Structure 1
Amino acid sequence: MKESVLKTFWRDTYQSKSPIPFIISVQVIIFVLIHLFDLLKEVNVLEVSLYDYAADYLSLPLSFSQFLTQPWSIITYPFLYTGLFQLLFDCLWLYWMGNIFLNFLNRRQFLFLYFSAIFLGACLYLSLGFIPILQNSVQLSFHTSTFALGAVVASVATLAPRYEVRLLLLGTVSLKTIALIYICIELIFTGLMNKAGGISFLATACWGILFIRSLHRGKDLSLLKWKKTIKKSKMKVVHQSKTASTNYSSYRHASDLPNQAEIDEILDKISVGGYESLTSREKEVLFKASKDDK
């Protein structure tokens, strides 16, 4: 019996290990709800504008004193969109860049980078609210997932700068070029409307670069206990003989997941020669590592 379209969509979208569809779904649902509130106000079903109320209380205010009256906004602001085109483009960027990220790394690392950028951007934004000159902006509150997107785009470009993407009318363009154009455009438009938001966006983009640089040095920041992990691995090496450590790779079964040292070497090779410079075995190793949720 042929499977229904709805069931196929549900399986391919929400039963996968990717968190991206769930993030996009929350953003779309909130967008629909607040505009439904606006519609009910326009047809006089509601006397109070719940649209304005939701937009104000779900956004992240620049004033710290106002933030204390709505502390939940540090969680809700990245999921709030009031403009259709901004929602559409941000969802496309998240889906595109997020899936490239997950092709190289795993879900835990993506979630850590995404939500840490949200928290870091919010804290910096609130701190900048104490500077009077930054309060002279068109907008004194912030919403959308711009901070998290900046971190994801910058991290992908740092991870595989020579990874090439074929674009309509533009031909083949490297990820590094795409990321640079995106960050510059977003920085200009965000900074014109909200100076503190522009500075925070740039900081989260730098955070994405730092996250990948740390991976290259063998430090996975998404593992909060990485110091203990490294210490344990060093103790194991002390007790191994030279013969065992030398022949380890030759006796290991092909289905085993790679260790962190192998992943770091592959990431270094990608940063130098791009994804296409990898051998078929290295691509397979990277694919297995990206599917390991740890």
Structure 2
Amino acid sequence: MSVYQQDSFWNAFKRGFLSMPPVIRTIIAINVVIFVLMALLGSWISEPLLSLFAFNPDPFTALTQPWRIITYMFLHGGGFHLIFNMLWLWWMGRMVEESIGPRTFSVIFFGAGIGGALLQVAYASVFGANFVIGASGAVLGIMVAFAYLFPTAPIMLLFLPPIQARFFVAGWIALDFLLLGSGDNVARLVHLGGAGTGFLLTKMHYQGYDLSSLVRPIEQIFKGKGGSKKKKKKPKRSDMYAVSDVEIMEEQDVDELDEILEKISKKGYDGLTAEEKKKLFDLSKKN
């Protein structure tokens, strides 16, 4: 009986984890793995990781060690720090990623984290600042995106009545602003910079800017590296398409599918034109 229960729990956990949107699933997995390694191996690994990958807001260090502006988002100083960041990312982020797509979601998440770090650099250049770790700025950027997309969605908190998302997130930002300089060892400026950047990027998306175009060149770099090892030159035949032509057609299909899915998320399936419905059906048969 206990074996059956354990197997059922594991299968349920696996199904729940795999059902998360892909970007959120990846971010949570990396954060949890790194935190577990730091907890299990102690200072033997945590000190080198922090010294190499935590964000140092010193302008010279930020300029000469630019990887820190990304890697600091995957380091957390304690269990509650990690749990709350990942829970808020999951609670609010999944609806955002499902609505705007994984590429645009990635731009907002990492853009908010970078924006928060850069604001901390501006502050440190005048007043000095400590090392920064944690995904809080990036997560707050996603929370702002959620409030922008679903302003009246109810947020349920213990012992409190439902609060609309726009008021909840605005209150969170106001609290960070009020606690600036309180000496509580929380990077409030990173939070505020992340919130502001998240708002700007989300607004740009709904004004028609294709934020996903920032991700596609990075995808092509990894595809190129992965494919360069496997590709072998073969005699060209007149009755076959060139490999590059096939890849371009696949890219176009992906872009068209993204546009159709985004329209479905905004207007529903019935909002598609007959031509778009036919295109969606044709693409589904290809897959």
TM-score range, shorter chain: 0.5 to 0.7
Partner residue in 1 for 2:200: 210
Shift, 1:177, TM fit: 1.2
- Matches of 1:162 and 1:210, distance apart in 2: 20
Deviations along 1:61-102, whole A, 9 cap, x unmatched?
Answer: 122334467543223211111111111111111111101313
Unmatched tracts of structure 2, length 5 or more: 216-255, 272-279
Give the residue type in structure 1 aligned to 2:145: S
- Matches of 1:214 and 1:69, distance apart in 2: 30
Q: Residue 181 in 1 paired to residue 171 in 2?
A: yes
More displaced, 109-118 or 8-17? 8-17
Q: 1:18 to 1:258 in 2, by over 3 A?
A: closer
Structure 2 residue corresponding to 1:129, chosen from 124, 130, 155? 124
Q: 1:117 to 1:279 in 2, by over 3 A?
A: closer
Indicate the SS of the match to 1:222.
Answer: helix
Q: Residue 25 in 1 paired to residue 13 in 2?
A: no
Report the TM-score, using the length of structure 2 for normalisation: 0.65
Mapping 1:127-206, distance limit 5 Å: 127-131=122-126, 134-135=127-128, 140-188=130-178, 191-193=181-183, 197-206=187-196
Partner residue in 2 for 1:13: 17
- Matches of 2:66 and 2:206, distance apart in 1: 36
Shift, 1:193, TM fit: 4.2
The answer to whether the Cα contact below 8 Å between 2:22 and 2:102 also exists between their aligned partners in 1 is: yes
Partner residue in 2 for 1:34: 38
Structure 2 residue corresponding to 1:77, chosen from 69, 72, 75? 72
Q: 1:263 to 1:193 in 2, by over 3 A?
A: farther
The answer to whether the Cα contact below 8 Å between 1:117 and 1:151 also exists between their aligned partners in 2 is: yes
Question: What is the root-mean-square deviation of aligned Cα atoms in Å?
Answer: 3.8
Mapping 1:47-86, distance limit 5 Å: 50-67=45-62, 70-86=65-81
Partner residue in 2 for 1:119: 114
Mapping 1:273-292, distance limit 5 Å: none
The answer to whether the Cα contact below 8 Å between 2:95 and 2:146 also exists between their aligned partners in 1 is: yes
Partner residue in 2 for 1:94: 89
Question: Identity rate of aligned residues, in percent?
Answer: 26
Give the residue type in structure 1 aligned to 2:51: D
Indicate the SS of the match to 2:162.
Answer: strand
Deviations along 1:11-48, whole A, 9 cap, x unmatched?
Answer: 4313654321221121122222222233xx6xxxxxxx
The answer to whether the Cα contact below 8 Å between 1:34 and 1:50 also exists between their aligned partners in 2 is: yes
The answer to whether the Cα contact below 8 Å between 1:121 and 1:204 also exists between their aligned partners in 2 is: yes
The answer to whether the Cα contact below 8 Å between 2:116 and 2:189 also exists between their aligned partners in 1 is: no
Q: 1:194 to 1:67 in 2, by over 3 A?
A: farther
Give the residue type in structure 1 aligned to 2:155: V
- Matches of 2:73 and 2:150, distance apart in 1: 26
Unmatched tracts of structure 1, length 5 or more: 42-48, 226-255, 268-277, 283-287
Shift, 1:171, TM fit: 2.2
Q: 1:77 to 1:194 in 2, by over 3 A?
A: farther
- Matches of 1:77 and 1:182, distance apart in 2: 22
Give the residue type in structure 2 aligned to 1:31: F
- Matches of 1:119 and 1:142, distance apart in 2: 12
Give the residue type in structure 1 aligned to 2:23: P
- Matches of 1:68 and 1:203, distance apart in 2: 18
Shift, 1:144, TM fit: 0.2
Q: 1:85 to 1:190 in 2, by over 3 A?
A: farther
Question: Aligned residues, how many?
Answer: 230
- Matches of 2:30 and 2:179, distance apart in 1: 25
